[in-house]
Structure 1
Amino acid sequence: MSSPVAPSVLFVCVHNAGRSQMAAAFLTRFAGDRVQVRSAGSAPADAVNPAVVKAMKETGIDISAEIPKVLTADTVQASDVVITMGCGDACPYFPGKRYLDWKLDDPAGQGVGAVRPIRDEIERRVRGLLAELDVEVTP
């Protein structure tokens, strides 16, 4: 008997330097290899926001080696669930995909104090997404 195929989730924001990176890191932490995780940006930055790296490190997750990636149609097509976070109309739409739009403040240009509540809200939403996908959260 073959094991079920892991669902794939794509997180998209403009710069792929903050919100989508945090969401991908939380999903990877909580689901391991039971979910395929991708993140991308419609206009990727050169590096992940340092305040985001610091805020995530406070949770025990190191994303300092992550590199913002450009959003491609192939990436969207390869994903079951596409979660946008302020990328607007830049995200290609394909029928049959599940799209969610998470309205979240943009951490760009913010200090770590302003990033923490965004991080905590993303963590809450990722846990909710895993429940919807019927994927148990790894302690």
Structure 2
Amino acid sequence: MAKSAEQPASRLPRTGLDGRRVLVVEDNRDGLETLLALLDMLGYEVAGAADGGEALEQARRFRPNVVLLDLGLPVMDGLQVARTLRKDETFADVYIAALTGWGAEGDRRRTAEAGFDAHLTKPVDLAALEQVLARATARET
């Protein structure tokens, strides 16, 4: 994976776009590595997870500003991960975007009900991804 989140969140260096941290949760290793590398090149501090359980562990350690979350994950699906994050006050302001191959209206409704802020379908368009990241950043200010 790209940059790791081994240190507690309070000791993480503030780099990239004012320390904006993005957690990418994707069970396809190639897709995960590609997205981590792209976001790193765009100046974000990044961490990755390959399943729902690991996503929650990484979120607690890494304290992301944004979570790009696949829905069809092993251990715990993306909807469950989002609901779990939304129940925790620590993550109340985290911007959660679905990044999934599931793009039907019913899928979009389920992500909204689970607390997602945005829904992107794969293969993700770079402009759409940048718009979501810009909205997440604008919400923080």
**Structure 2 length as normaliser, TM-score?**
0.48
- Pick the structure with more helix per residue: 2
Q: Which has the higher contact order (CA 8 A, sep 6+)?
A: 1
**Structure 1 length as normaliser, TM-score?**
0.48
